[in-house]
Amino acid sequence: MTFRAAVIVLATLLFFPWAWPSAQPAEKTLDVYFIDVEGGHATLYVAPSGQSMLVDTGWAGFEGRDAARIVAAATRAGVKQIDYLVTTHYHNDHVGGVTQLAARLPIGNFVDHGPTSEPGERAAPYQTYVQVRQKGSHLEVKPGDQIPVAGLNVRVVSAGGSLLSVPLEGGGGPNPLCGAFKPMKDETSEDAHSVGTLVTFGAFRLINLGDLSWNQEYGLVCPTNRVGEVDVLLTSQHGDDEAGSATFVHAIRPQVAIMNNGPRKAVIGPIIQTLRASPGIEDLWQLHYSLLGNRENVADEFIANIGEVDSGQWLKLSARADGSFTITNARTGSTKPYVAR
């Protein structure tokens, strides 16, 4: 560049400061933490807007172990309060930690399917939850409702024993696998009342059905697939063989599946076989190495916690609006990217 040209450039930048080159802001992502609560359930979503949604609170007891792990993930994500707490159902491994969590972190809105379906002593976790729920706003949801997390589309696909009846965008096509489905005995516990959600961020889609069972998953995709395809599936029933039929899994065609199992919670062999045969599947991830059943586990690099005694390692997903995403294993520190389909 000549001296005269350099003078012209400098003058331009002095008189027209907007002409200075500027660094592009980092693209905001949807961040999801799959928190290890030892075979319970706690999944933290942090929207690009900064709002947070936590699905379930893990177990009670254990000196506040699960609440502490949730708070640790929230702190890492810069979350100072839970804007929406979604309780899928009222079993101890999903709602037990609510009292301990509320003592550590403010909760703004409590989302659930309404009164418990289980009477007597089995209703105790629900009664405890209701006492905590009184400290915030309450939203009782049904299939088709939207949970208003800013920056995300969170649609309820199951709740209170009912299933989505109107197809979502991207759903509605016939499912040729319905005829091969073999039903199990109907589930009648709180599992069957689970609040299931489909979270969409741009082109990215993640489905989390809590403990919804085999026959109900079928009801979401037969005779028509009302859900459509997803990028990520968090397996129902912690990856146990009471959910995850090929009729359901192969219809929603996950690119990645995650199992929130425990070392001795969920016999994950059958679902691993079904997922590996699913069209379009790339990887399977586990929160724990399984010590149960036929011990068919994925490769160690895809498991957050190895062995029966662990330090509560998480899996973190970061999704972009174009549908691409990454998954980070806290145990290994490694991150694997996935391109948008």
Tokens of 220: 């979401």
CB crowding 241-280: b at 16 or more within 10 Å, else e = bbbbbbbbbbbbbbbbbbbbbbbebbbbbbbbebbeebee
Question: How do residues 201-250 score in pLDDT, each as one tens digit?
Answer: 999 999 999 999 999 999 999 999 999 999 999 999 999 999 999 999 99
Q: For residue 97, is it within any domain?
A: yes
- Per-residue pLDDT of 80-114, as tens digits, reads 999 999 999 999 999 999 999 999 999 999 999 99
Least trusted range by pLDDT, from 58-67, 157-166, 304-313: 304-313
Asked whether residue 19 is domain-assigned, the answer is no
129, 98 Cβ separation under 8 angstroms = yes
pLDDT category of residue 292 using cuts at 50, 70 and 90: confident
Which of 30-44, 203-217, 294-308 has the least mean pLDDT? 294-308
> 111 is in which domain, residue-wise?
26-338
Phi, psi (deg, nearest 5) at residue 103: -75, -15
| Pairing status of strand 232-234 against strand 224-225 | unpaired
Report, as an integer, the average pLDDT of 321-329. 98
Query: Is residue 215 in a domain?
Result: yes
User: Is 14 part of a structural domain of the chain?
Assistant: no
What is the Cα–Cα distance from 341 to 332, expressed in whole angstroms?
26
- Helix, strand and coil in the chain, % to nearest 5: 25, 25, 50
Please report which confidence band the pLDDT of residue 50 belongs to, taking 50, 70 and 90 as the band edges.
very high
DSSP run (H or E) holding 98: helix 98-102
Order of strands across the sheet that contains 43-46:
137-140, 107-112, 82-86, 52-55, 43-46, 30-34, 315-319, 325-329, 335-338
Q: What is the CATH number of the domain that holds 81?
A: 3.60.15.10
DSSP state of 185: P
- pLDDT surpassing 80 at residue 8: no
Q: How many domains does the chain have?
A: 1
Residue whose structure tokens are 């100072």: 80
Query: Is 15 contained in some domain?
Result: no
Q: Is residue 1 part of a domain?
A: no
Per-residue pLDDT tens digits for 53-71: 999 999 999 999 999 999 9
Given this model, what pLDDT does residue 25 score? Answer: 64
Flag whether 6 is in a domain: no
Other Cβ atoms within 10 Å of 151 Cβ, number:
14
* pLDDT(13) > 50: no
Residue 5's pLDDT band, with cuts at 50, 70 and 90, is low
Q: Which residues does residue 236 pair with via DSSP β-bridges, in sequence order?
A: none
pLDDT at 294 over 60: yes
d(CA 68, CA 22): 40
Is 18 domain-assigned?
no
Mean pLDDT across the stretch 150-159? Answer: 98
Predicted local confidence at residue 165, as pLDDT: 95
What digits encode the pLDDT tens for the residues 242-282? 999 999 999 999 999 999 999 999 888 899 999 999 999 99
Summarize the confidence of residues 8-33 as an average pLDDT. 63
Give every CB contact of residue 35 below 8 A, 6+ residues apart in sequence.
42, 43, 44, 58, 66, 69, 70, 73, 312, 314
How far apart (Å, rounded) are the C-alpha atoms in residues 292 and 297?
10
The mean of the pLDDT values for the chain is 93
pLDDT above 70 coverage of the chain, percent: 92
Position 103, amino acid: A
